[in-house]
Amino acid sequence: VRTFRDRVWAMLLSRVGNRDTARDLLQEVLVSAWRALAEGRLRDPEKLGAFVYGIARNVINNRRRTAAAGPVEVPLTPELELAVQPPDFEDRERRRLVREAMALLEPSDRRVLLLTLVDNLRPREIARRLGVSSDVARTRKTRALKRFVERVRELSRTAAADHKP
């Protein structure tokens, strides 16, 4: 359940505007997935991701159809209660890593990433801003993204090592 919590949360944030509603749905999806797994409804273990994703979609669609009914109250065990909480801490930690990783990047990489991921500009528009061709802009974006991910991973490893006793 915990393995897919972040994915379900990301999915809910994309589909549900209200964070409180997303919080309710996260619990509902993860509990449904846990029950389905406990009942042995997963035929192919390699397709666990698709299985959980299907459950998440069903729960969201059912909630839309019965929007007036409100959240479904489900009794939870303490472990499950902890597992179905939104990953707020992880989100905050990730944002810190992102901020530090951006500071470590070259200005040109930073600019490409901001144009791409924050301003949501298409490659053609980014190319116009940078004064290069679309292919060159796309290549720069790919490289900047790769360096950015590497920086985040390095920072994450460093933070994990610092927290070890």
Partner 1 sequence: VNCEELRNGDLIERYVAGDLDAAARDRVEAHYFECDDCFEQVQLARALREEFPGPPRVRERPVLAYAALAAGLILVAACGAWIVMLRRENVELEQRLARAASPPPAAIERQAQEIAALRTRLDALSQPELNAPIVDLEPDDRVRRGGAPSPVVELAGGVRQITFVLTAGEVLGPGPYSVSIVDGAGRVVWESSGLRRSRFDTFTLAVPAALLPTGAIAIRLRSTADTRPGRVQEYDFRVVRR
Give the burial class of 106: count Cβ atoms within 10 A of its Cβ; 0-12 exposed, 13-18 middle, 19 or more buried.
Answer: exposed
Q: Give least dist CB 78 to partner 1, A.
A: 27
Candidates 9-17, 23-31, 35-43, 67-75; binding stretch for partner 1 (CB under 8 A): 9-17
- Toward partner 1, which CB reaches closer, 11 or 31? 11
> Hey, what long-range contacts does 153-156 have (CB within 8 A, 24 or more apart)?
155/97, 155/100, 155/101, 156/97
Choice from 35, 49, 66, 135 touching partner 1 (CB under 8 A): 49
The nearer residue to partner 1, 41 or 47, going by C-beta atoms, is 47
In sequence order, what are the residues at sequence separation of 6 or more whose Cβ sits closer than 8 angstroms to the Cβ of residue 132?
140
Binding footprint of partner 1 on the chain (CB under 8 A): 4, 6-7, 10-11, 13-15, 47, 49-50, 52-53, 57, 91, 94-95, 97-99, 102, 113-114, 116-123, 125, 138, 142, 145, 148-149, 152
